[in-house]
Structures are given as C-alpha cells and as structure tokens.
Chain A
Amino acid sequence: MAYSDKVIDHYNNPRNVGQMDKTSGEVGTGLVGAPECGDVMRLQIRVNPETQVIEDAKFKTFGCGSAIASSSLATEWVKGKTVAEALEIKNTDIVKELALPPVKIHCSVLAEDAIRAAIGDWKKKNNVAETEGVAVAAL
C-alpha cells in the first residue's frame, strides 16, 4: 500500500507521544479500539479549567501507520482549541488531511472517537453536561 507523505511524516515523527496523569481533574483520557481489531488509541487532553482551552494533548497508538498518523494529527489539531471547538473535528477532515484510502477510513473514525472519549472523560470529571456518548473501553 502506498502511504501519503503526511502519513509517513507522522509515522516517522509522531507528535505529542506520551502519557498524562489520568487521575488529574484537568486531564481527560480516551481509550478506544480493541487489540483484536488491530487498533487501540489512547488520547489524553489537559484542559484549562478557566478557559476550557485544551492546552496539551498526548497519545499512544497500537495500530497501522494510518492509525498512528490519525491520532498524531488529532493531538496537533485539538491543542489550542476549546473543548467545544475540538468536538467539531470530523473524521472526514482527518481523511482529507492525510489522504487516507477508503480501507483506512476506520482509522480516522477511531481518532474522532478518541477525541470525543477524552473530552467525555474530562466533562464527567468536571460535571459538565455530556453532549454525545461514544463507546470507550472500561478500565
């Protein structure tokens, strides 16, 4: 399979790899996917409680190059956005940016799910009304 230059770039130089303290009230964690499906993404955000701006984001992904690139890109995009703005990121935007082929669209869906799951987790911790649910792994 031929990968786009952007996928190769994210694969070679993944952005924002790492872990944040998931017990912190400012941190939201989204763990989506399943090992048997071949992709698991964990995306974390640290939200400024005053401004609701996502000040930092980290990820780790088990999955193919497109899954790694999708989650790496997702961390770049959510940083600096408010929680409400981040929820507007659509998987189709990721598909377009990374030029993902049809067979890899599920990677972008998973990245969108990961953003929503991380925000959902943060909202739950901070008693902010949940807008929309997303299936996440129960730790």
Chain B
Amino acid sequence: MSNEMSDNGMIITESATALPEGVHLPIYMDNHATTPMDPRVLEAMLPYFGAKFGNAASRNHAFGWEAEQAVEKAREQIAKLIGATSKEIIFTSGATESNNLAIKGIAEMYRERGNHIITQATEHKAVLDTCKRLEKAGYRVTYLPVQADGLIDLEDLKNAMDDKTILVSIMYANNEIGVIQPIAEIGKLCHEKGVIFHTDAVQAVGKIPVDVQKDNIDVLSLSGHKVYGPKGVGALYVRRRNPRVQISEQINGGGHERGMRSGTLNVPGIVGLGAACEIAMNEMEAEGKREAELRDYLKAKLENALDYVHVNGNMEHHLPGNLNMSFVYVEGESLLMGINDVAVSSGSACTSATLEPSYVLKALGLGDDVAHSSIRFGLGRFNTKAEVDYVSDKVIDVVLKLRELSPLYEMVKEGIDLTKIEWAAH
C-alpha cells in the first residue's frame, strides 16, 4: 500500500473506503478542540489588521475612537448572545485566562467571607489546575463526582455547600463527552445560598441557548476559537446586578476592562469574537438541529455495523455536535492511525503526553480499557452528510480490521471473561 502526503502534511494511507463526491481529505471533525474560522468573521476582522489599527484606549484621536467603537460593538454582540449587558463583558486572551481570572479573582476578593470552592471532576484543566493552585494557597476545594452519565447530582452539590463556600464552578457542557449540566438548577441553588456561580461555557456558547438570567449564572467564561472566531481572544461575563460580583484583577497595568483585566485590547480578535457571536445568534438554532441530525445518523450507522460499542455520556442532555464512543477491544490510537485522513480525538492514553487515559471518561466510572478505546467526534458548522458517510464507513472498516488483530476481541468472542484473567501489568 502506498502513502501520500496531503497538502497540509498529513499522511493519507490508501483506503478501501470510497470517497463520496464533494468530500476533500483530510476531513476536520474535531470541533471541540477548535473550530475553523467562519469566512464572514475573517472578513470583519481584516480592516483592524490594516488601516483601523488604533488602540481602543486612545481617548484623544479618531484612530482610538474607531477602535473603541469596534470593541463596544463586539461587546454588545457577545452580551446579546448570552442575555447579558455589554458592561458585563470583560475581554481576555481566551477561556483559560477567563477561568483563571474568574476563579482566582473571586477567591481573592471574597477571602474574608470564606475559603471553600466547589467544582467537579470532569472540568477542563483550566479550572481544575486553577483550583489545585488555590488549594496550595489555603483554600478548600470540593471536587464533586459525576454520575455514570456525566451529570452531577444536585444533592451532592447541596451537601457540599457550607457556610464557608464562596464559589461554585461547574462547566456548562463538557468538551469530551458533550454532556450539558443542569446549569439553571445549579445557579438557583447557589443564589439561594448566596454563593457565586461561575460556569466555563466554552463548549456551550453559540451551540445551544445560554442565558445568564434564566440560567442564574454570575460569571461565565467563553472563547473565540470555539465559536468559529479567532484564537487568542475570549471573554468573561461578570454579573453587575442581583448580585453584583466583584473580581480581583490578576494582571496589573493600565486598569483596562473596568480594572479587572489590564492590557491593550486585541481589537481584531475582539471584532472577530463579536462577529462570531452575532452569526451564532442568528444561525444557532438551525445549525444545532442539523448537527444533531448528522450526529444521530453517525451514531446509528456505527451502532448498526459494529458490536461492543459504548456511547459515553448522557445523550439527552447533550451538545448537538458531540459523539463520544468507545469501540471496545480496539485501542484508540491505533484506530486514529487507521482513519488518519479524518481529524478526531481519542481518550486513549497513547494520544496524551501523560500516558493516562482520559480523566473525564474515568470519572464516569468507565474502565481504563473502555477509555482507551474512545473516539470523540466533534461535528461542526462545516461538516456535511457526505463527510459523515465517509467517516462512518472508514471507522467501521478500521474497527473491523483492528478487531481481527485484537486478542481481546477474539477471547470475548470465544466466551472468555477478560475480567477473570490476571493480567500482567507492565
């Protein structure tokens, strides 16, 4: 079999799977990692790399005013998408910074009131690692477990709250398994107890309706490159009324962004984020419906053709474009290698630097062997049905081939209980 290099350097192995008309390889189906920029977003940004280069903080000339005007327009576009007011939007470099600013900034600001923070096991590392850092600084952090379907139990949250609890940080939707947490109920509970509620809504904003009022959210992180906008820009929503939330700044400088985040604003990035939010606002409903249909089609095709597949995460409370599936007895990285003209992710240890399988899947109580076999499909705005057909056919081909190679699949087919074997760990 010969291999050829594609334009962008991915090695494409020859495949028996037919390529439908109109499908170009490689196919991008990893939209939880990042999304391609919408051409309309790029168009909106371009002038701000050129003639409109002003500093939004320059108060005394037209270059500055032009930039400021663009920033304020973006602030409104973002606010509108999440039911906020523009004064409640703080620009950052991305969601990692937003999460750091929210959690550290609140912990520091409300230190007198208490030192207890509640989060959960399947958060993004930007939240978990920030909380770990705060633990070293004397804060107490409760990491709520999740149930087998990835949802937290509200009773657990209620029981974890005490009179020292100042902050609850629970993500809106999970980046690996796409599960949507009961955000409005969590927010309600927090408000009843006078606890600030922060949510990392990176995967949810622009994909499903998010409303900080209805959802009782006090602080919310979002990112540009997950909503078909640019990388390097994000925002933090900080509630100004009922209750007014205060945040201790983490970057000191010129007092930009109402003193909460100093630094010259990334005007082109902000313009892009705003444009991306406006497009999402207009197209989210139809797009979500289309992606969910494609996702269900993909899921059904895979389930019909293959045995021993396991869908990870609650499918009822689920992002439209997400499908996380384990192809048991096939190791995830070897599967990725076989479908290397398709960009997806795996929870396999072999795909990570740490050689540990996905902590999110482990938190669901899945065995390491099932976690090692998982693939995350992330469908997005630009994926087509023809692409889904190609990807599903290819995954089926490769899984069947790898199961021919798998001693575990053979043993299970022969009726051997793998759990009864004393494996020699290495």
- Show the binding face of A for B, using Cβ within 8 Å: 1-3, 5, 8, 11-14, 17, 19, 31-42, 60-65, 67-68, 103, 106, 109-110, 113, 135-139
Contact = CB atoms under 8 A, between A and B. Distances in A.
A34 B426 contact: yes
B331 interface: yes
A70 to B, nearest CB: 12
A137 B422 contact: yes
A27 to B, nearest CB: 15
Contacts of B334: 11, 63-65, 67-68
Interface in B302-357: 329-331, 333-334, 337-338, 348-351, 353, 355, 357
B191 to A, nearest CB: 42
Nearest to A63: B331
B407 A61 contact: yes
B372 interface: yes
Contact of B423 (A3, A33, A60, A64): A33
B18 interface: no
B426 A36 contact: no
Contacts of B338: 11
A127 to B, nearest CB: 23
Given A38-B348, A38-B372, A8 B405 contact: no
Given A32-B424, A35-B368, A137-B423, 18 more contacts: A8-B3, A8-B11, A11-B337, A31-B407, A32-B426, A35-B367, A35-B372, A35-B423, A37-B349, A38-B331, A38-B372, A41-B407, A62-B405, A62-B406, A62-B409, A64-B334, A65-B333, A65-B337
A109 B426 CA distance: 9
B369 interface: yes
A64 B331 contact: yes
Interface majority SS on B: helix, strand, loop or mixed?
A: mixed
Interface residues of B, number: 37
A124 B29 CA distance: 51
B418 A135 contact: no
Contacts of A135: 424-426
B85 interface: no
B153 interface: no
B289 to A, nearest CB: 36
A68 B353 CA distance: 20
B162 interface: no
A138 B206 CA distance: 52
Nearest to B423: A34
Of B329, B369, B424, which is in contact with the most chain A CB atoms at under 10 Å from its CB?
B424
A85 B424 CA distance: 25
A62 B367 contact: no
A120 to B, nearest CB: 12
A110 B330 CA distance: 17
A68 B348 CA distance: 15
Interface string B117-147: 0000000000000000000000000000000
B410 A60 contact: yes
A14 B353 CA distance: 26
A61 B401 CA distance: 12
Contact of A138 (B14, B408, B409, B421): B421
Interface in B1-29: 1, 3, 11, 13-14
Interface in B361-396: 367-369, 372
A106 B349 CA distance: 13
B407 A40 contact: yes
27 contacts: A2-B11, A3-B337, A5-B3, A11-B337, A31-B407, A32-B424, A35-B408, A36-B423, A36-B425, A42-B407, A60-B405, A60-B407, A60-B410, A61-B405, A62-B407, A64-B333, A64-B348, A65-B334, A65-B337, A67-B334, A103-B355, A109-B426, A113-B426, A135-B425, A136-B424, A137-B423, A139-B421
A58 to B, nearest CB: 11
A112 B355 CA distance: 20
Contacts of B404: 17
Contacts of B426: 32-34, 37, 106, 109-110, 113, 135
Given A32-B424, A37-B368, A135-B424, A62 B329 contact: yes
A48 to B, nearest CB: 25
Closest 3 CB pairs of A and B: A34-B423, A36-B368, A35-B369
A13 B330 contact: no
A60 B424 contact: no
Nearest to A117: B424
B422 A138 contact: yes
Contacts of A11: 334, 337-338
Contact of A33 (B3, B355, B367, B424): B424
B424 A64 contact: no
Contacts of A34: 423-426
